[in-house]
Structure 1
């Protein structure tokens, strides 16, 4: 071959050398990206085994590379997702690319991670090239968002129903109270009436608790006796807990008071007891106890302890560490929201206290709450109703669209000496005021009424008499948005209310005294 041929050969070798170098460089780059990728990259065979995986597989799932390559990949998939995964493999084997397919993989520590896959099959080599992204957190956030939206809807529904519900509770409580005072109601019948009254009050409290959570009602602070709190709730809890579960109260007598929201603290205790009940489907024992924080040998008398202990199924450490997380629940879908213990945690913290849990599988759980003692707090006294809330002889104009509520309120006022003019809406109230202006000493008006609302009625009446005393009533239970529609300085009485509370507030308005 001549020189030209030699040169041509040398040029061909040179070109071949450049191509080989580029290929090697590209392979090195691909290998580097393969190792550094936060996504899970793999090559798998149609036999169902991983052939090659990047380090992110071990980082996310916790298994070593050798462990992941040694077993069929289906073994790592959650059992409920294996059928769909097998169908996805079949589609890939048929040449169909896989896009946005999701399944759950079980990690080495038992946790589940949701992976979103994209994959294609290399027909000549019969290998699957796939990339997966861990979308577990996104799924969790999405679920929490949906749960939050659901709770917001529940809160709105509760607000809408609260007005009518509390009107009914007012009527039940008031009529039960009237019946209890009747001379014919004695003995066993009186006990039944008292039960009706207490059940209605509990129902009203449940409405307040729901609204407190959904609207984050401001905490109402008052002196609280933990022993009295547990004693009052014992009868209701006994009805909620099956006979197969023994409910025991072990108080420490003489402990001081704490300061807090009685309704919210009741909610915490109920949640803890119901949680203990659910941990003992076959029966067991719940012990509620009170005392000072610390140990008997080293008591801390500036803190009180409220403890709920059970001998139920207990919890493994992984669950115990997460019990106070919002939306975390071990119950079946549809049986729990994962909010009970999270709400308990938030309420206790709002009270300046702490809540902790100790639990061992098959040995039960102990929830312990510590709350600061309130220095100088005094136990409430119960003065006679008449002395605390005297009646009167003035004329009160009532504007209330619910007939049953009008009847109850007018009954409470008339039996304590007041004269009453009843109206069912704002227009009727205006006409009544114009006809009896000289007689009417004050107006008792419902905030929400069809047609003219309570605030609109009050504004119209104030045009006629700027000094006319007005007391608003509402079944929305301290809804912050309700305050926004009331005139500045308005006096509001929440439904349902006791007769003594109505009389006291009416007297305050008539006498131009500040509201307590």
Structure 2
């Protein structure tokens, strides 16, 4: 080719790479065969530098377009053509088709990125779950003592107000822990058939309050029922978090949020491009899409938007979208985000569609049930002395007698000595010296029918996976209140008929 990149000769093999004959290649500019503007400009600058500076021979890899429109990768090795005076009069280039190598590299990089993302999610999930578990133990002490003090009817109104504020703050902290557990995939789940459209419609007023007045919401809900097998409470959190996040991205006024639901078939290729979608199979999915006309995000922000504690808001905690991802992951779903700075954001959540017979069920329990009171001896085992103290006080408030152990070995020794006297056993899920599994196995060998309640800062979903097949087993998630203990004990212990068993 000459100094401007116009081809003056092309051998048959090189012409074949592009799908042309050698005659068709002659007279074409090499620059015109390059597929992308950036590569074309880079090559133009290279030709000028070769003529001007005459550096060592140069190698370049570019994407080029063939006669039939395909894009291929070529490695181009350049060298000079000199005249008798030693002046550059053109170039000789050798082309090598490296498309297969480039595709293999892209696939390897994609796999490595997926592995890194998976490892990041796993490590952050373990960290978040561990923080939530330990923090729930601390909140157990705060909430428990606040509740016990509030049972004192001689307190002044000011003291009661102060304690109520402590209780509210601790409850908000507990909610943060639930979001951390949701991100880690260890959130509490009651799996039932849920109609996504009905759930969104039921939220109604709560959505309006969460969004505020700076945005209008348009609902484009599918006409048919959209059944998914999910935890209704967690699904509500997904909807609320997505809409709250969209509302916070709005300008002062005139913003619009569009909520769209659909049932659609999704191919593997689309799933592979979504967060959490790489392990899912093609099939029918329920789609929840929340689109806003807000400020949008740049690619760096989109890449980090689901990380816990990452936020672009001055008052944000960075847990809303992290919790969404944790919930979606636990429901075997996937998430996609499309966003551009100044052009708004669209987040789509896919959940596997439920097929076959189903019914939408409410997960709300009966209201106005009075606190249960009973009689009997209870074995309480927890390695945290403060949790032991407040738990003992709560159980005694319900009319029970309590013997406490600080670890698994102590619990087993106490149970062996007085197994016939215990009406129930409460075990912390994380105890030193002897694991809860070993303690539970020993108790079952001695007294197979005794009720056992497992306590943990993790969720009952996490516990259920560890104790599949065990009978007479209940779960109490920390931090708990007296009414939570009461509701569980009501299931397996008779209520006391003593006049002291006040409601």
**Normalization by structure 2: what TM-score?**
0.60
**Alignment partner of 2:299 out of 313, 320, 330:** 330
Q: 1:28 aligns with which of 12, 15, 20?
A: 12
Distance 2:440 2:106 in 1: 55
Equivalent residues in 2 for 1:55-74, closer than 5 Å: 57-58=34-35, 61=36, 71-73=41-43
The answer to whether the 8 Å contact 1:220/1:261 transfers is yes
2:133 equivalent in structure 1 = 163
Distance 2:217 2:151 in 1: 32
Point out the structure with max Rg over C-alpha: 1
Instruction: Structure 1: state its 5+ residue gaps.
Output: 1-25, 38-42, 44-49, 76-81, 108-112, 294-304, 316-328
Distance in 2 between residues matched to 1:162 and 1:357, nearest whole Å: 27
Q: CA deviation at 1:484?
A: 3.5
1:432 aligns with 2:436: no
Counterpart in the other structure of 2:368:
384
Matches within 5 A, 1:195-344: 195-212=168-185, 220-221=191-192, 226=200, 229=203, 246=214, 261-277=231-247, 279-280=249-250, 283-284=252-253, 310-313=292-295, 330-332=299-301, 335-337=304-306, 340=321
Q: Contact 2:338–2:345 (CA<8 Å) still a contact in 1?
A: yes
Residues 92 and 121, structure 1, Cα contact 8 Å, conserved in 2: no
Corresponding position: 1:406 with 2:388: yes
Relative to 1, partners in 2 of residues 1:433 and 1:193: Cα closer, same or farther, differing over 3 Å?
same
Tell me the equivalent position of 1:503: 486
State whether residues 309 and 366 of structure 1, in contact with CA within 8 Å, keep that contact through their aligned partners in structure 2.
yes
2:299 aligns to what SS in structure 1? coil
- Inter-partner Cα distance in structure 1 for 2:72 and 2:254: 39
1:448 partnered with 2:430: yes
Cα deviation for residue 173 of structure 1 reads: 3.6
How far apart are residue 452 of structure 1 and its match? 0.3
Between Structure 1 and Structure 2, how many residues are aligned? Answer: 408
Decide which of 47, 52, 56 is 2:30's aligned counterpart. 52
Which has the bigger relative contact order, CA under 8 A and spacing at least 6?
Answer: 2
TM-align CA RMSD: 5.7
CA 219–130 in structure 1, closer or farther in 2 if over 3 Å, else same:
farther
**What's the CA shift for 1:219?**
5.8
Contact 1:476 1:494 in 2 (8 A): no
* Cα shift at 1:177: 3.6
Secondary structure in 2 matching 1:332: helix
Structure 1 position 425, deviation (Å): 0.5
Q: Quick one: structure 1 residues 92 and 146, their matched pair in 2 at CA, closer, same or farther if it must change by over 3 Å?
A: farther
Residue 423 of structure 1 corresponds to 405
1:493/1:143 CA distance change after superposition, 3 Å: same
Q: Which residue of 2 aligns with 1:12?
A: none
The answer to whether the Cα contact below 8 Å between 1:430 and 1:461 also exists between their aligned partners in 2 is yes
Compute the displacement of 1:196 (Å): 1.4
Q: Normalising by the residue count of structure 1, what TM-score does the alignment of the two structures yield?
A: 0.59
Following the alignment from structure 2 to structure 1, what is the Cα–Cα distance between the partners of residues 175 and 405? 30
CA distance in 2, matches of 1:292, 1:248: 17
Deviations along 1:382-416, one digit per CA (max 9) or x if unpaired, are 53342xx5121111001111222222322221111
**Alignment check: 8 A CA contact 2:377 2:421 kept:** yes
Q: Decide whether the 8 Å contact of 2:373 with 2:399 is kept in 1.
A: yes
Distance 1:86 1:455 in 2: 75
Measured at CA, do residues 345 and 114 of structure 1 come closer, stay the same or move farther in structure 2, by a change above 3 Å? Answer: farther
